[in-house]
Amino acid sequence: MMNFSTVDSLIPIGSGQFQALDYVVFISMLAISMAVGIYFGFFGNNNSTEEYLLGGRRMKTIPIAISLIASQISGVTILSIPAELYGYGTQYAIMIPFMIVTVSIINFVFVPVFYHNNIYNCYEYLEMRFSRRTRHLITIIFLAYSYVFLPIILFIPSIALAQVTGMNVHLINTIACSVCVIYTMLGGIKAVVWTDVIQGTIMVGASLVILICGILKVGNISEVVNRAFQGNRIEFFNMNLDLTVRATFPNMVLGGIFSWTSYIGLNQSCVQRIVSLKTVKHARTSLWIFCFGYYIIVGINCFIGLTMFARYYQCDPLQLGIVDKLDKMVPYFVQDTVGELSGMTGIFISCVFSAGLSTMSASFNSLSGVIYQDYLGKLPGMSKSEKMASFWMKSIVVVSGVICVLCGFVVDKFSSLLEIMLTISTVTNGATLGVYCLGMLNPWANDNGAFWGTIASVFFTGYLAVRSKIAVLAGEITYPLLPSRIDGCDAFGLNVTTGFITDSLNATTACPMNEEFALHKIAFIWFAVIGFIIVLVVGIPVSMLTGSNDIYRTGKKLISPVAHWLLPEDIRMKIPPRNTEVPLIDKDGNPIKDSTWVWETTQKTDK
């Protein structure tokens, strides 16, 4: 493998080091985020839990939509999506158009239930529908996922900044986490949303600049597409039904829908912002806008991947050893295309950090509410006053930040951070989606079915994920990159005699036919689907065997409107549908505050 310093002297890329303007750009991004938090901390009226967590349910539709977009696009996403298309082609991108299916499911299945029951904490629904133990089970899954996921979210951008500045990666991680903690702790959800708007704008702007400069380096869009076709990077409709194939039309579409529906519609960090809007109509509108924005930002990053391939169509840095991992292709491409432009390296790093900060701040805010409401607030002798609630939730944000910094030292020891994130998410998403669908779409499901179905799902998909990872490390499962060329490196000042790699396998190659099928060889994208199915396969029979749920006791509001046809007619007619354009209010015209998010001291009583 060639040494970086030797190759960098031959290929005309930027210096790869932060210049004065780069520092100014990056520090400005952090300073603006901090300023927003300080502003809302002192002038945002965050004295109540409802204001701190929900913005008083007066948040605006478009900012919430942008916040959802920004927090769904992490720094890992910015780096991994273009790399995925560079190495494996466009089959991944087929899941993008189906985001509209995900948003439709959330809008018409889940959102009405949360609003009609005035639920601010999505895990509260599980206690209302099933029991406290089922609620705590899913809450623990959420907490475990969050505290493994979050340290990775900001550590990856920290690595990128360390590479171009020479600073210690842990120092960078500590500074960035501290900024995120301060503005989230002081400003609450208002600071989270408005910093997301700023950071989302940075992400889109930086990605567009990188894409345009990359296209100009290649020539034009037509040339990008032609080279992608010639390099076999364009593939959308691989209908192979083999479950062991890494990326096909069926597994990308189904796996994408199941995973995204769970993450966006049933993850508290997202639900908390969705229900901070006044009405169901506002929430639905915000999600439709989110869908449109998601198409834009992910579409841009997908095309960056194709442009990256077109740029190195005849001189693959991976083959040459210039870049040792696929995950590092995007930073290399950025240095190559815009590194010579003053300040552009700083803008790219700001883009990656913005993506990480937006995800982390939203998670910190939701974690503070969930941990306080579900655990700290229920401790004997714990004061239920708004002042103490605010103190403890802000303390949880600080502690969460400290955990992320300390876990960074552990994360630094792992070689494939993206695989860790994907493994954890696939284990939790299927079980979470399954238990909510069991509750909202099956009126007869009971607590035993929900609890044991979730347990079975987590353990089985957890086994698949761990066993699959072991097989990958042992070389039992491999996903070779698509073929690439190095016969045109003269244009980059390199004299390479090797031409085209002909023995690379297609990325969608399945296990050899003479090998025995094994469950752990199933592609990881299927794990969420499998987890969902297990919840239903176990949950429905267990519910029937242990005594089906009393439909009359459950009532209509805890069942999704799309499943009301399953209810007896007298229950269907009992509660008239509520106008989705009108917010829930009490007799004094104030928003109803019967959720456990808002404590007794804030509720009005008649004298």
Torsion angles phi and psi, residue 161, rounded to 5: -70, -40
pLDDT (0 to 100) of residue 588:
42
* Half-sphere exposure (Cβ direction) of 219: Cα atoms closer than 13 Å: 10
What letter represents residue 157's amino acid?
Answer: P
pLDDT (0 to 100) of residue 397:
92
Rounded to an integer, what distance in angstroms lies between the CA atom of residue 425 and that of residue 471? 19
What letter represents residue 202's amino acid?
Answer: I
Give the torsion through C-alpha atoms of 263, 265, 271, 274, to 10 deg. Answer: 130
Q: Which of 398, 366, 25 is nearest to 177 (CA)?
A: 398
pLDDT digits (tens, 9 = 90+) for 482-538: 888 888 787 666 655 554 443 343 344 444 444 555 787 888 889 999 999 999 999
- Per-residue HEC secondary structure of 511-540 comes to CCCCCCCCHHHCCHHHHHHHHHHHHHHHHH
Angle of CA points 185, 36, 143, to nearest 5°:
35
The list of the chain residues with pLDDT below 50 reads 1-16, 499-514, 578-580, 582, 584-589, 592-607
Structure tokens at 19: 């210049």
Structure tokens at 139: 């809450």
Rounded to an integer, what distance in angstroms lies between the CA atom of residue 595 and that of residue 602? 12
Tell me 482's DSSP state.
P
Q: With H, G, I as helix, E, B as strand and everything else as coil, classify residue 591.
A: strand
What letter represents residue 546's amino acid?
Answer: T
pLDDT (0 to 100) of residue 586:
39
For 398-413, letters b (16+ CB in 10 Å) and e give: bebbeebbebbeebee
Angle of CA points 410, 361, 339, to nearest 5°:
75
Rounded to an integer, what distance in angstroms lies between the CA atom of residue 554 and that of residue 407? 42
Rounded to an integer, what distance in angstroms lies between the CA atom of residue 595 and that of residue 478? 49
Cα–Cα distances in Å, from 210 out to 199, 234, 308, 337, 345? 16, 21, 10, 7, 10
Q: 591 pairs with which residues across the strands?
A: 585
pLDDT (0 to 100) of residue 418:
58
484 within 8 A of 542, measured Cβ to Cβ? no
Give the chain's domains with CATH numbers: 61-377+384-412+422-595 (1.20.1730.10)
> Going by C-beta distance under 8 Å and a sequence separation of 6 or more, which residues neighbour residue 118?
584, 592, 594, 595
Give the torsion through C-alpha atoms of 412, 416, 421, 422, to 10 deg. Answer: 180
SS3 percent helix, strand, coil of the chain, rounded to 5, is 70, 0, 30
Which long-range contacts (C-beta less than 8 Å, at least 24 apart) are formed by 373-380? 373/121, 373/596, 373/597, 374/121, 374/123, 374/135, 374/136, 374/139, 377/599
Cα–Cα distances in Å, from 281 out to 240, 267, 278, 556, 582? 40, 20, 8, 20, 9
pLDDT (0 to 100) of residue 482:
86
For 585, counting Cβ atoms within 10 Å of its Cβ (0-12 exposed, 13-18 middle, 19+ buried), the class is: exposed
pLDDT (0 to 100) of residue 3:
33
> Going by C-beta distance under 8 Å and a sequence separation of 6 or more, which residues neighbour residue 418?
76, 80, 327
Structure tokens at 127: 């206690």
Q: With H, G, I as helix, E, B as strand and everything else as coil, classify residue 485.
A: strand
pLDDT digits (tens, 9 = 90+) for 212-256: 999 999 989 999 999 999 988 988 988 988 888 888 999 999 999
What letter represents residue 78's amino acid?
Answer: I
Q: How far is CA 69 from the centre of its chain?
A: 9
Cα–Cα distances in Å, from 342 out to 26, 161, 346? 13, 16, 9
For the chain, how far is it from start to end, CA to CA, in angstroms? 80
Q: With H, G, I as helix, E, B as strand and everything else as coil, classify residue 542.
A: helix
